Chain A
Amino acid sequence: MSLSEKDYNIIEAYLDGNLQPEQDPYFQDRLKDPSFRQELSTQASIQDAIKSNTNHAFIQKLKSSQPTPLDKNNNKWRLGILIILSILVAAFVLYNYGTNQSQTDTPPNQLAYLVPYPPQTFERGTDPTWTDSLSEAMQLYSKGSYAEARYEFQAKARDQEIVKLYIANCSIFMDDFETAKSELFALRASDDQQIKQNADWYLAMTFYEMGQKQHCFDILDQIIGSSNHLFYSKAQQFISQKR
């Protein structure tokens, strides 16, 4: 008996695992036909054969192949990673060089804790409340020319508290601790909390630099007594390391 289109569809569905329950009685019935069974068996073998033939051909291809590096994309990745690593190493070396330079620029008696006001380098000399007359002083201060900056500050706006803070800072970094001390003492009485708290810290540092450690730690103890003090964390670190 020859096979119908329906027979071929049923065989395909069975071998694909897609035989529906309603197709099953027909399938079971057709199994009685030797020609149906032969076709079913042939198609099953063909499906297996195509897989094993492809795999066999692939194994032959593998066995006869030569070792090759991975594809170009992979080499690009490797090259990319190498470039990134080189940049990182260069950046690290430059950063260390810069850090060492700034450390050697700093006088040896000055502490890492003692950085000019304000601590954020980018804010130095950019106070919006400054008048044009102070811009020259601020530029000098930003450049680290403390003697010239202090002269300009004293000449232009001697009465402003923030200017006094800058003058005190200039004095500290000129090792003129006495001037710094007198300026900062006065500023500790300021109503402006930011000015006052900066004065606390810089006065403590001035005492430390002057070798008057007890005065320094007295002020630092006062700072750490107020958890919302601007220099609370710094004071804690300083005490834990220096006391």
Chain B
Amino acid sequence: MDVDAIRKDILNGNDQFLIHYYHESKRLCIGYLIKRNLCSSDEAEDIYAESIIILRDNIIQSKLKHSTNIKAYLKGICHNLAVNSIKKKVKESEKSEQVRLLFYENNYSIVESEELEHKKKICQKALATISKNCQRVLTLFYVHNLSMIEIAKEMNFSGKDVAKSTKSRCYKKWIEQINQMYNLSL
């Protein structure tokens, strides 16, 4: 298994490998979760889908070895997800939780507004309006959690400083687009 080639494919938007294993290992993993009474059958479906995302992230972050047995690997992830489902939910809203904790520790009121919910909904659309290059940099950073060095390598930038300034510029454009779209919708 050429993990580097698979990683490259995934980063270029080719999910064939993941789709293949999604179907190939589905029965094994879901059957395992239900048989072991680790969760209900509905939850098993979600946990299994989540395990594919973790597989994807681990491939992208070069955590997967060439010799890894994918089916066994997915089964292991499913097991861990079922056992640690609470941790998983916290991880999904990592940044929000961090800010929430910061406000709580400093006795500031928690911000819950319609504006925030609305902006969350339009952030994907706003991302689609900026350049492809920017979309890719922001996806690599915010979705795939790649470091600036890795982004520089993926994007053929001369170094991490270029990656950092590009990401920052793109991020500002994105936020600007979100705000513009939000104001237009009022």
Contacts of B116 in A (CB 8 A): 38, 41-42, 45
Cα(A171)–Cα(B102), bound, Å: 100
B37 an interface residue at 8 Å Cβ cutoff? Answer: no
Interface size bracket, B side: 35 or more
A156 an interface residue at 8 Å Cβ cutoff? Answer: no
Complex contact A37–B15 (CB within 8 A): no
Complex contact B98–A53 (CB within 8 A): no
Complex contact B16–A68 (CB within 8 A): yes
A73 and B5 contact, Cβ closer than 8 Å, known pairs A50-B123, A51-B142, A67-B24: yes
Cα(A13)–Cα(B138), bound, Å: 15
B129 an interface residue at 8 Å Cβ cutoff? Answer: no
Contact pick for A58, options B15, B95, B178, CB 8 Å? B15
Complex contact A49–B98 (CB within 8 A): no
A37 and B108 contact, Cβ closer than 8 Å, known pairs A44-B95, A44-B99, A58-B15: yes
Complex contact A62–B22 (CB within 8 A): yes
Complex contact B93–A48 (CB within 8 A): yes
Q: How many chain A residues touch the partner (CB < 8 A)? A: 38
Cα(A41)–Cα(B49), bound, Å: 28
Cα(A68)–Cα(B168), bound, Å: 39
Contacts of A63 in B (CB 8 A): 49
Interface centre among A50, A59, A61, A67 (most CB of B within 10 A): A50
Minimum CB–CB distance from B84 to chain A (whole Å) comes to: 17
Within 8 A of B (CB), among A108-142: none
Contact pick for A41, options B106, B111, B123, B138, CB 8 Å? B111
Complex contact A71–B142 (CB within 8 A): no
A167 an interface residue at 8 Å Cβ cutoff? Answer: no
Contact pick for B124, options A53, A58, A59, CB 8 Å? A53
Contact pick for A54, options B103, B121, B139, B175, CB 8 Å? B139
Minimum CB–CB distance from A77 to chain B (whole Å) comes to: 8
A46 and B175 contact, Cβ closer than 8 Å, known pairs A53-B123, A67-B23: yes
Contacts of A67 in B (CB 8 A): 19-20, 23-24
B113 an interface residue at 8 Å Cβ cutoff? Answer: yes
Chain A positions 29 through 71: 1 when the CB is less than 8 Å from some CB of chain B, otherwise 0:
0010010011011111111111111110011011101111111
B65 an interface residue at 8 Å Cβ cutoff? Answer: no
Residues of B within 8 A of A (CB): 2, 5, 9, 14-20, 22-24, 49-50, 52-53, 56, 92-96, 98-99, 102-103, 106, 108, 110-111, 113, 115-116, 119-121, 123-124, 127, 138-139, 142-143, 168, 171-172, 175, 178
Residues of A within 8 A of B (CB): 8-9, 12, 15, 28, 31, 34, 37-38, 40-55, 58-59, 61-63, 65-71, 73
25 contacts between A and B (CB under 8 A): A9-B168, A15-B98, A31-B106, A37-B111, A38-B116, A41-B99, A41-B116, A45-B95, A45-B96, A45-B116, A45-B120, A46-B120, A48-B92, A48-B93, A48-B96, A50-B124, A50-B139, A50-B142, A61-B15, A62-B18, A62-B22, A68-B20, A70-B20, A71-B17, A73-B2
Known: A38-B115, A42-B115; 6 extra A-B contacts, CB below 8 A, are A40-B99, A44-B95, A48-B93, A48-B96, A49-B120, A50-B127
